[in-house]
A and B are shown apart, each in its own frame.
Chain A
Amino acid sequence: MSPLPTVVIVGAGPAGIAAARRLAEAGLRPMLLDREPAVGGQILRQQAPGIELPPLPGFDPAAGPRMRSDLEALRDRIDWYPSTTVIAIEGNRLWAIGPSGEIDSTGWDRLLVCTGAHDRLVPVPGWTLPGVVTLGAAQIALKTQGCAVGRRIAFVGTGPLLYLSAAQHVAAGCDVAVVADTSGVGDAAAAVAGLLGDRARLALGLRCLRILARAGVRRVRRVTALAVEGDDRVTGLVIHAGRRRTTFPCDAVAIGFGLVPQTQLLDLAGVELAPESRSGLWLPVLDAAGRTSMPGVYAAGDGATLAGAEAAGLMGERAALAVLEDLHLASDRDRAAWLDRELARHAGLARALARAFPFPTRLEESIDDATVICRCEGVTAGAVRSAVGEFDAGEVNRLKALTRCGMGRCQGRICGPVLARLVARASGRSLAEVGRLRAQAPVEPLPARTRRADAADATP
């Protein structure tokens, strides 16, 4: 009897869990890895025990525990590796640091990458001050740690999360200084139109707006410029909208402009990535089922697309069906067809939301020379623009080499998209020509004292 093919799923959020369930049902015993100690990804991240919050709109406190008990039901049919951080992929081997801090590697026959996304940022003056956090950070602090990121929080950016986060904070009893959106009223109309196909999401959006209105939260739309005030910590947020300039005193700013899929592992696996026209972000080239350009490598969820968190579970299941098809195991055509239809519908919703909350290109274009764009290395926009001019450089990895932008601890996750677009504008080249920062192992910081789990017979 031939051994089962080794299927490895990286990321145990909604996409990874759905894939694991499907593959387990097919008898494959997949390996499921996540760097957190519990499943859930970001949105359903495990709450600390004993947190007592009032009901928050759009937050079902039972959803995460439900997912975790789903995992328990699967435990005897999968290999679950919590607190396991994948840091490198070499051919069809991956390296991961386990809970003991030791590093080990495993080969794989099929790899499904479900590594999720993080907030997309536009650097503004003062954004590196203590007290400025991402919208995602505000959510994690609130829901999983029962904390507010400040006493009076300004919410700024664009996207549904901006309103959801602000409304949840109001419901939790926080003081919200302002909700400032770079999108406009016209964009909101597009949102409503697009969301008519999803009553639940539309209803949630309207509920959030009602909560903000009832609390008297100031709302600003069509924001064209921002600056965070303060010397050694946040003291206020300056907002320009049209000709109006208003300062909102606050001690924290939560900022975010949509999401950036985490594609570092896919990059190391050698899959093809391409710039997506609306967002300008480099995304893996996928077929409808989640197959990448690399045979044996699949991707699903927020780590691969901009289709939205609700689609993640469906994508995970669809990719699992693709794995089964490709392994010539019993698959389920009807289910695949249904998933494809649902995913198309979600893609349409995601496009509507992207039209409703467009990425603020103007805000990004007007980053002034003195503003730091690389937090880790302290590199300013002006330094990058100078290097483009001085060396006639128009390729993003070259600009990284010349300015150190993207060389810091976060390896360009935060500044990468901004850098590429800044270089494109400064050099007059297209996004495709400018390229993207190449992922390099380790994709997470590797402690120098890390030992190999198989140290006894370690030979390089």
Chain B
Amino acid sequence: MADTDEAGERRVPAPRLVRLGRRSAARVAFTIDDEAAEGFEGDTLLTAILTNRSDLGAIGPDPRRRAGFCLMGICQDCWVRLADGRRVRACTTRLEPGMAVLLEAVEVHW
């Protein structure tokens, strides 16, 4: 599956998770790498990120891109960085309004 279309434009990969059916809950605004994104009340941070993006980026010095594995806080694959410096495990963290997730930020400081 090529990541560029006929015009040579970089194709953004589809979000990893697919929402099923209607969700009658309040929308929650947050950001990923300073871009506006939206989730729903009750989403885990992992759900919120992966319904907007195809993966969770890399973690620490390991270049492997992650997209969640166990979704229950066991595999520790889904740690992400927030702009306020916190590192959180996305699958066991509730999405909160205004959360600023950094997936692609360069690790100048840890």
Q: Which chain B residues lie closer than 8 Å to A447 at the CB level?
A: 87
User: Assuming A145-B43, A146-B20, is B77 touching A375 (CB within 8 A)?
Assistant: yes
Q: What is the CB-to-nearest-CB distance from B10 to chain A, in angstroms, rounded to a whole number?
A: 13
Q: Are B79 and A409 in contact (CB under 8 A)?
A: yes
CA distance A136 to B55 in the complex (A): 19
Q: Does A130 contact B (CB under 8 A)?
A: yes
Q: Does A8 contact B (CB under 8 A)?
A: no
The interface bits of chain B over 45-68 (1 if a CB of A lies within 8 angstroms of the residue's CB, else 0) are 001000100110000001011111
Which B62-96 residues have C-beta < 8 A from chain A? Answer: 62, 64-77, 79, 87, 89, 92, 94
CA distance A447 to B89 in the complex (A): 11
Q: Does A378 contact B (CB under 8 A)?
A: yes
Q: Are B44 and A145 in contact (CB under 8 A)?
A: yes
From A46-54, A68-76, A315-323, A421-429, the one touching the partner chain is: A46-54
Q: Are A141 and B41 in contact (CB under 8 A)?
A: no
The binding surface of chain B is classed by DSSP as loop
Q: Does B97 contact A (CB under 8 A)?
A: no
Q: Are B69 and A132 in contact (CB under 8 A)?
A: yes
Q: Does B19 contact A (CB under 8 A)?
A: yes
Q: Which chain A residues lie closer than 8 Å to B73 at the CB level?
A: 35, 444
Q: Does B109 contact A (CB under 8 A)?
A: no
Q: Does B7 contact A (CB under 8 A)?
A: no
The interface bits of chain B over 15-48 (1 if a CB of A lies within 8 angstroms of the residue's CB, else 0) are 0111111111100000000000000111110010
Q: Which chain B residues lie closer than 8 Å to A375 at the CB level?
A: 69, 75, 77
Q: Does B98 contact A (CB under 8 A)?
A: no
CA distance A151 to B18 in the complex (A): 7
Select one of B16, B42, B44 contacting A50, CB under 8 A: B42
Q: Are B41 and A48 in contact (CB under 8 A)?
A: yes
Which B1-22 residues have C-beta < 8 A from chain A? Answer: 1, 13-14, 16-22
For residue B76, which residue of chain A has the nearest CB? A409
Q: Which chain B residues lie closer than 8 Å to A134 at the CB level?
A: 69-71, 75
Q: Are A118 and B70 in contact (CB under 8 A)?
A: yes
Q: What is the CB-to-nearest-CB distance from B74 to chain A, in angstroms, rounded to a whole number?
A: 5
For residue A175, which residue of chain B has the nearest CB? B18
Q: What is the CB-to-nearest-CB distance from A16 to chain B, in angstroms, rounded to a whole number?
A: 16
Q: Which chain A residues lie closer than 8 Å to B44 at the CB level?
A: 145
Q: Does A173 contact B (CB under 8 A)?
A: yes
Select one of B62, B74, B75, B77 contacting A378, CB under 8 A: B62
Q: Does A376 contact B (CB under 8 A)?
A: yes
Q: Which chain A residues lie closer than 8 Å to B19 at the CB level?
A: 146-147
Q: Which chain B residues lie closer than 8 Å to A132 at the CB level?
A: 69
User: Assuming A49-B42, A133-B69, A145-B47, is B17 touching A413 (CB within 8 A)?
Assistant: no
Which A252-304 residues have C-beta < 8 A from chain B? Answer: 252, 262
- Measured CB to CB, the residues of A under 8 A from B are 35-37, 42, 47-54, 118-119, 128, 130-134, 136-137, 140-142, 145-151, 172-174, 232-233, 235, 252, 262, 375-376, 378, 408-410, 413-414, 444-445, 447
Give the 6 A-B CB pairs with smallest separation, nearest first. Answer: A48-B42, A50-B25, A130-B67, A409-B76, A137-B71, A50-B24
Using A173-B20, A378-B62, A414-B69 as known contacts, list a sample of 6 further A-B pairs with CB atoms less than 8 Å apart, ordered by residue number in A: A52-B23, A128-B64, A136-B70, A141-B47, A147-B18, A444-B73
Question: Please, could you name 23 A-B residue pairs with CB atoms under 8 Å apart, sorted by A?
Answer: A35-B73, A37-B94, A47-B42, A48-B42, A48-B43, A50-B42, A51-B23, A128-B64, A130-B66, A137-B71, A140-B71, A140-B72, A142-B20, A145-B47, A146-B23, A147-B18, A147-B19, A148-B17, A378-B62, A413-B74, A414-B69, A414-B70, A447-B87
